[in-house]
Structure 1
Amino acid sequence: MPKGTGNVIAQNRKANHDYFIEETYEAGIVLQGTEIKSVRQSRVNLKESFAKIQNGEVFVYNMHINAYEQGNRYNHDPIRTRKLLLHKKQINKLIGLTKEKGYSLVPLKLYIKDGYAKVLLGLARGKKNYDKRESLKKKEANRQIERAFKDRQQ
């Protein structure tokens, strides 16, 4: 099964607009009791989230998982820092890559795979404004080409 497939819960659509995604990594995520129930209800927002490596471990920040409605006092802090689970080799490789100027780790998707919550992490390099405009022009040109082919087939 390719990376990023499964029951997709949340996507960071803005990431492809703001960054060039060089590589992707699939990581497990450490969740507390009621968090997985909120994840299964698709009550997650990845918009402002990012990942950092600290002391040889990867953590995701600003990932918003809403409190579970039936969780009462066992609920969690919605934007707490959560640990990501990666192999040591992958973490060492990411440490080297993120030390380069302009690279960062961005969560692209949160999904359920084989009963476990997984995060698709992207090694990203920031886009400048002119890169963003260029991407939008290419996307619009591709849409027009698709429309032309669709009209021609009918």
Structure 2
Amino acid sequence: TGFLAKRYSPRAIAIYSVTLFAAFMAAIVVPPQESALWVTLFLAGLALAVALPACAAMLSLMVSEREQGRVLGSNQSLQVGAEALSGFAAGLLAAVFFKLPLIALAGVAAVAAGILALRGRGAGEMEEASRAEADSGLATD
């Protein structure tokens, strides 16, 4: 994401990548051929691989250097907890309709992208900090 980070704010990267993730997750249930999963799962995974570091960068830019370790550690704990609970929830949804977990995840991702787009708490400060970091040469590839 170094290429993107030099050109766009973490918030913009997160919004677009989460939106793409939602679209690709919804697309997984569309094609009837199993071979299409190679493409749709790759695209969804790629979008998520871009979104997660962008979200971590947003958190990092929202807090002071002194608070970063605690905040990023808490974020990691919440992320692991969400991964564990999502497997359980997906199993319950799949018992109703086997494609429902994918549709639900696409919906949750779309809502998350909407929240990011509409409510950018601290977005101005994050974008300024991101630009200052890029200008000072601290941003890495």
Q: TM-score, normalising length from structure 2?
A: 0.24
Using CA pairs under 8 Å that are at least 6 residues apart, name the structure with larger relative contact order, 1 or 2.
2
Whichever structure has more strand as a proportion of its residues is 1
Which of these two proteins has the greater Rg computed from alpha carbons?
1
